[in-house]
Copies of this chain bind each other. A is one copy, B any other.
């Protein structure tokens, strides 16, 4: 595989060089497109392929049920968008087909990290020609084809284009944690559809946690009977999900977290714990003590039985054994375990866990599976064919690569931390300063977004995953050089709508949740507010520790989004205004509208909060929002009048913003920084006027830079 990846990189390089020059008769064109992830090579040409009711696809070369089903799904989506009705059968004459798919073979029977996902798509006035080595490559190309759709007065069309595409990394995953909060099969399926739309190829299914054991075990039925509150996947459902994923060229890799994060197992089987039970399914969030006993042979016998059953259910090459956040307390407290360590000359808990992992790796090897685990499993005693999933960062990944281990990056892709898409987007699996050789680079297989499940429900999970995960998908698929954040957001907006056609609810559940909170249809002012705030970041949610896995996730924080729309818009508008030297008038009208809306939303919001106790925790927010809006309007009017604000104005506003910036109701304003800049600018106008205008721009940048606060 490594050689193949190096070859791939070389091909890509050649292709990129080739793309810099016009080819033959076709004229390359600049054209704004909505492709996400951006393909390796895109060259628009003049011309268009009309999409009308005569649309028909043909498959030449290899055809199979998976590819045909994929073509039918794509055709239905195209029908939905265009309102056109196509023939349900494939075109009899491939030359006459609108979309001609040439597939050279089925690809691997089970989706794999070795799958060839490359494809090319050439669209002319006459036909779209999609070529791929495998059915999966063709499926990837179909998603690109759908993203190319445009419309105008003359109807729908695909612009003429030549695309050669292949992923930068072969492992592009999304972890869904069904352990902490159970997610029904329909949630998993619609997210698989979303993954396929942005060319992700691994569902990392986190299936056991302190808070829940989610797989039916026929061999050890007490696991799901006692450890799941009745919320688990039957084996039939799991097979269904695996088949559904395979249909979309997606691997399903199960994770059974051990030796820690294991409370729910030990509810059923306390005899395999490192301390006597009984245990209860954990309801809180955090890191807990219950840990498998790595010193007892019965533990391995049980785990071998369990993994043998699971290996018959899950078909992926890899089984994830977790391995993270073992706090070691039960081990330290057990004389018997301490004696075992002494006898075996195991010097610390990390070494004991390595011993445990070695035993597991032998079990998995017998079952023909490769082991993968979190950073902590990395230990010299472990075989080299394990894969390290890094929550620590590109540095630890590079380190593993130097030691010869394959790895994938998840640090920086923790979408549960509620950072904006831009932050994840900038995070590359290969650190810019990594001094890795080609062979070491090839060990970096890709990455995974991680949807940890502490604070997501079936109602909110889509909005935590999407659309931000599409930006991560692009990072893992597209050339490293594709890094324009503004352009990413422009395309993300379109992709977000396209994801809706797959049944994802990331957009549409927001107003529904606001209606429920406010107990009214008239949620305009609440939408205004929620567009300005974001959930608190990192693990600052629930620092009072009163919420559990049973707490309803229907508060303002659950409706709020990681990328507050108003925050992003305001930042762009203000940064643009700051550059408008010397008049600073650009965007003033739009800014005044936003500020006015914020200032004036308060009475309606106050009245709403009166009637809706669930919003009471947020009662300071309308006041803060009104103050921020008023401050913004004042700044604009000083700028417009080119008059100096009174003494103390700037300081008073800064104090107000500092207060407003403090999280309330576990959300925080995403509009503070740009307003701060405007206030500083207004206050600096007298000083600016004493300088030549040629120096204004630099001066403005300096005084409004965050550090100048």
Q: Interface on A for B, CB 8 Å cutoff?
A: 76, 79-85, 88, 151-153, 155-156, 186, 493-494, 497, 500-501, 505, 507-509, 511-512, 515-516, 519-521, 547-548, 550-552, 554-555, 610-614
Contacts and interface: CB of A to CB of B under 8 A. Distances in A.
Contact of A516 (B156, B497, B521, B551): B497
A508 B507 CA distance: 9
Nearest to A458: B503
A516 B81 contact: yes
Given A493-B521, A508-B509, A151 B500 contact: no
A333 B219 CA distance: 63
A127 to B, nearest CB: 20
Given A80-B516, A508-B508, 10 more contacts: A79-B552, A80-B552, A80-B554, A83-B613, A85-B550, A85-B552, A151-B614, A152-B613, A186-B186, A497-B520
Contacts of A610: 152-153
Given A85-B552, A550-B85, A612 B151 contact: yes
20 contacts: A76-B552, A79-B552, A79-B554, A80-B516, A80-B554, A81-B554, A81-B614, A82-B552, A83-B554, A85-B547, A85-B548, A85-B551, A151-B612, A151-B614, A186-B186, A497-B519, A497-B520, A500-B515, A507-B515, A508-B508
A515 B610 CA distance: 33
Tally of this chain's copies: 2
A84 B516 contact: no
A88 B151 contact: no
Contacts of A82: 552, 613-614
Contacts of A611: 151-152
A513 to B, nearest CB: 9
Nearest to A551: B85
A357 B133 CA distance: 59
Contact of A613 (B155, B521, B554): B155
A82 B521 CA distance: 17
Top 6 A-B residue pairs of the complex, sorted by shortest distance between their CB atoms: A508-B508, A83-B614, A79-B552, A85-B551, A80-B554, A155-B613
Nearest to A82: B614
Contacts of A521: 493, 497
Contacts of A153: 610
A497 B515 contact: yes
A153 B606 CA distance: 11
Nearest to A83: B614
Contacts of A612: 151
A617 B76 CA distance: 21
A463 to B, nearest CB: 12
A551 B85 CA distance: 5
Given A155-B613, A613-B151, A614-B83, A500 B512 contact: yes
